[in-house]
Chains A and B, each alone.
Chain A
Amino acid sequence: MADLLEVTDLHTQFFTRDGVVRAVDGVTFQVAAGETLGIVGESGCGKSVTALSLMRLIPQPPGKIVKGSIMFDGQDILKMDDDEVRGIRGNNIAMIFQDPMTSLNPVLTISRQISEALELHLKMDKSEARKRTIELLELVNIPSAKKRVDDYPHQFSGGMRQRVMIAMALSCNPKLILADEPTTALDVTIQAQILDLLKNLAREFRTAFILITHDLGVVAGMTQRINVMYAGRIVEKADTVELFANPKMPYTWGLLRSIPRLDESRKAKLVPIEGLPPDLIAPPPGCKFEPRCQYRRDVCKEKEPELKHVPGSKSDHEARCWGTQEGGWLVDTDWKREIGDTRLLEAIKQETASVTATPETPGE
Chain B
Amino acid sequence: MATASTTQERSAELNVLVRKQRSLWGDALYRLMRNKAAVGGLIVIAAAFIIAGFAPLFAPYNPIEIPQNPASQMEPLWTGSKYTDPRYLLGTDFLGRDIVSRLMYASRVSMVVGFIPTAIVFGLGVSVGMVAGYFGGWLDQILMRFTDIIYAFPDFLFLLIIVASFRNSPFGKILDGLMLIFVAIAIVGWVGVARLTRGQVLALKEREFVEAARSVGAKPSRIMAKHLLPNALAPLIVTAAFAVPGAILGEATLSFLGVGIIPPTPSWGQMINEGFPLFAANPWAVLLPAICISVVMLAFTFVGDGLRDALDPRMKT
Asked whether, in the complex, the Cβ of A151 is within 8 Å of the Cβ of B230, the reply is no
Residues of B within 8 A of A143 (CB): 8, 11-12, 17
Residue in B137, B231, B233 whose Cβ sees the most chain A Cβ within 10 Å: B231
Of B17, B212, B222, B227, which contacts A147 at CB under 8 A? B17
**Does any Cβ of B come within 8 Å of A292's Cβ?**
no
- What 10 new A-B contacts, CB under 8 Å, besides A97-B211, A107-B230, A144-B17? A89-B214, A97-B208, A98-B208, A105-B212, A106-B231, A116-B213, A144-B12, A144-B18, A152-B24, A165-B212
Of A88, A147, A148, which contacts B217 at CB under 8 A? A88
Asked whether, in the complex, the Cβ of A55 is within 8 Å of the Cβ of B216, the reply is no
Closest chain B CB from A88 CB (angstroms): 7
Residues of B within 8 A of A150 (CB): 21
Residues of B within 8 A of A55 (CB): 215
Complex CA gap A143/B222 in Å reads 31
Asked whether, in the complex, the Cβ of A103 is within 8 Å of the Cβ of B214, the reply is no
Interface residues of A in 274-329 (CB under 8 A from B): none
**Does any Cβ of B come within 8 Å of A240's Cβ?**
no
Q: Which residue of B lies closest to A86 (CB)?
A: B217
Q: A144-B12, A152-B24 are in contact. Are A91 and B217 (CB under 8 A)?
A: yes
**Does any Cβ of B come within 8 Å of A234's Cβ?**
no
Q: A143-B11, A152-B23 are in contact. Are A107 and B231 (CB under 8 A)?
A: yes
Asked whether, in the complex, the Cβ of A104 is within 8 Å of the Cβ of B217, the reply is no
Give B contacts to A, CB under 8 Å.
8, 11-12, 17-18, 21, 23-24, 137, 207-209, 211-219, 222, 226-227, 230-231, 233
Asked whether, in the complex, the Cβ of B215 is within 8 Å of the Cβ of A94, the reply is yes
Asked whether, in the complex, the Cβ of A99 is within 8 Å of the Cβ of B208, the reply is yes
Residue in B207, B214, B230, B233 whose Cβ sees the most chain A Cβ within 10 Å: B214
Complex CA gap A352/B248 in Å reads 66
Interface residues of A in 48-94 (CB under 8 A from B): 55, 57, 61, 86-91, 94
Interface residues of A in 2-56 (CB under 8 A from B): 55
Asked whether, in the complex, the Cβ of A89 is within 8 Å of the Cβ of B217, the reply is yes
Q: Which residue of A lies closest to B234 (CB)?
A: A107
Complex CA gap A152/B25 in Å reads 12
Complex CA gap A360/B218 in Å reads 51
The A contact surface, by secondary structure, is: loop
Number of A residues near B (Cβ < 8 Å) is 36
Give A contacts to B, CB under 8 Å.
55, 57, 61, 86-91, 94-95, 97-99, 102-109, 116-117, 120-121, 143-144, 147-148, 150-152, 155, 165, 168
Residues of A within 8 A of B212 (CB): 95, 97, 103-105, 165, 168
Residues of A within 8 A of B218 (CB): 86, 90, 116, 120
Complex CA gap A155/B23 in Å reads 11
Q: Which residue of A lies closest to B136 (CB)?
A: A61
Q: Which residue of A lies closest to B204 (CB)?
A: A105
Residues of A within 8 A of B222 (CB): 120
Closest chain B CB from A186 CB (angstroms): 15
Asked whether, in the complex, the Cβ of B17 is within 8 Å of the Cβ of A148, the reply is yes
Number of contacts between A and B (CB, 8 Å)?
Answer: 85
Of A89, A94, A97, A105, which contacts B227 at CB under 8 A? A105
Residues of B within 8 A of A104 (CB): 209, 212
Complex CA gap A90/B11 in Å reads 33
Complex CA gap A150/B114 in Å reads 36
Asked whether, in the complex, the Cβ of B216 is within 8 Å of the Cβ of A105, the reply is no
Closest chain A CB from B269 CB (angstroms): 39
The contact sample of 28 A-B pairs, CB cut-off 8 A, is A57-B215, A61-B137, A86-B217, A87-B217, A89-B217, A90-B218, A91-B217, A95-B212, A97-B208, A97-B215, A98-B208, A99-B208, A102-B207, A103-B208, A103-B211, A104-B209, A105-B231, A106-B209, A107-B230, A108-B226, A108-B227, A117-B216, A117-B217, A143-B11, A144-B12, A144-B17, A147-B17, A168-B212
Residues of B within 8 A of A97 (CB): 208, 211-212, 215
Q: Which residue of A lies closest to B8 (CB)?
A: A143
Of B8, B21, B213, B217, which contacts A105 at CB under 8 A? B213
Closest chain A CB from B236 CB (angstroms): 13
What 9 A-B pairs have minimum CB-CB distances, sorted nearest first?
A: A90-B216, A89-B217, A90-B217, A143-B8, A103-B208, A95-B215, A105-B209, A102-B208, A86-B217
Q: Which residue of B lies closest to A155 (CB)?
A: B21
Residues of B within 8 A of A89 (CB): 214-217
Q: Which residue of A lies closest to B4 (CB)?
A: A141
Q: Which residue of B lies closest to A85 (CB)?
A: B217
Closest chain A CB from B209 CB (angstroms): 4
Residues of B within 8 A of A152 (CB): 21, 23-24
Asked whether, in the complex, the Cβ of B209 is within 8 Å of the Cβ of A102, the reply is yes
Residues of B within 8 A of A121 (CB): 217
Closest chain A CB from B94 CB (angstroms): 55
Closest chain B CB from A75 CB (angstroms): 15
Asked whether, in the complex, the Cβ of B209 is within 8 Å of the Cβ of A168, the reply is no
Complex CA gap A102/B11 in Å reads 26
Residues of B within 8 A of A95 (CB): 212, 215
Complex CA gap A99/B24 in Å reads 22
Closest chain B CB from A59 CB (angstroms): 9
Closest chain A CB from B12 CB (angstroms): 5
Closest chain A CB from B297 CB (angstroms): 31
Complex CA gap A152/B24 in Å reads 8
Residues of A within 8 A of B211 (CB): 57, 97, 103
Of B17, B21, B209, B226, which contacts A103 at CB under 8 A? B209
Asked whether, in the complex, the Cβ of A116 is within 8 Å of the Cβ of B216, the reply is yes
Residue in B18, B137, B209, B218 whose Cβ sees the most chain A Cβ within 10 Å: B209
Residue in B11, B212, B219, B227 whose Cβ sees the most chain A Cβ within 10 Å: B212
Complex CA gap A143/B17 in Å reads 9
Closest chain A CB from B101 CB (angstroms): 46
Residues of B within 8 A of A117 (CB): 216-217
Residues of A within 8 A of B8 (CB): 143-144
Q: Which residue of B lies closest to A107 (CB)?
A: B230
Q: Which residue of B lies closest to A98 (CB)?
A: B208
Residues of A within 8 A of B24 (CB): 107, 152
Complex CA gap A109/B208 in Å reads 16
Closest chain A CB from B221 CB (angstroms): 12
Residues of B within 8 A of A106 (CB): 209, 231
Closest chain A CB from B218 CB (angstroms): 6
